[in-house]
Amino acid sequence: MLLAVDVGNTNIVLGVFEKDELITHWRVVTARDRTVDEYKLLLKELFSLEKISVSDVDGIAVSCVVPPVITALEKACGELFNVKPFIIGPGIKTGISILYDNPKEVGADRIVNAVAGYDKYKKSLIIVDFGTATTFDCVSKKGEYLGGVISPGIGISLEALFTHASKLPRVEITAPPSVIGTNTVQSMQSGIFYGYLSLVEGIIKLISKEMKEEKPVVIATGGFAELIGSASGSITEVDEFLTLKGLKIIYSKNSTKK
């Protein structure tokens, strides 16, 4: 079994693959000060809940954009599973060319998503990842990572509104019944939901024009992918587990196991 771990700024998403099948997955809060023992306890509890033996794990792939987390997580995985985690980073085989000015600046999760998307479609792509930041990543029909767009995420934007406007409440992120809100909560929900929907549609349109290729496949992933993707006319597919799938693909490309 392969344990795939995607460490983001807000959440850690974990998934267990048995051959090509994702058999279970979890999402936990990212805690930058979690200790090795705490990670071991957390992982043991998650595996126990799904009645999966930790001894069945013979591979671990990790994508991490939160440097303070990686040392403790890597050590915990090594001690609990007796497996050295494979960390996504510079110099590994990905199967795609990275055309960023400085490839080392590209977040590991963005490359992993690009690999997963291109492996499936083999054509030009725009991948929209709704995480702490909302990112748009562009892949050419030749499998080249071209670059992308980074904008503030939905969650932190709403939190900033609550924090800096004293009379505005903290609200649930959801689609309101109409664009015109008839109360403060609905008005805020409209601004966040339709504002981000318009941002996504507008950036996809601009990127598509600039890429000058055949119409790209647009994939949405991340925590708010389903919410925005279901209302978007530009998003082709919503894949909640795109990053986990990409981790599996990259792990297989770099594995020495027969």
Active site positions, annotated: 109
Helix axis angle, 184-211 to 154-164, nearest 10° = 140
CA distances from 112 to 5, 106, 177, 257 (A): 12, 10, 36, 21
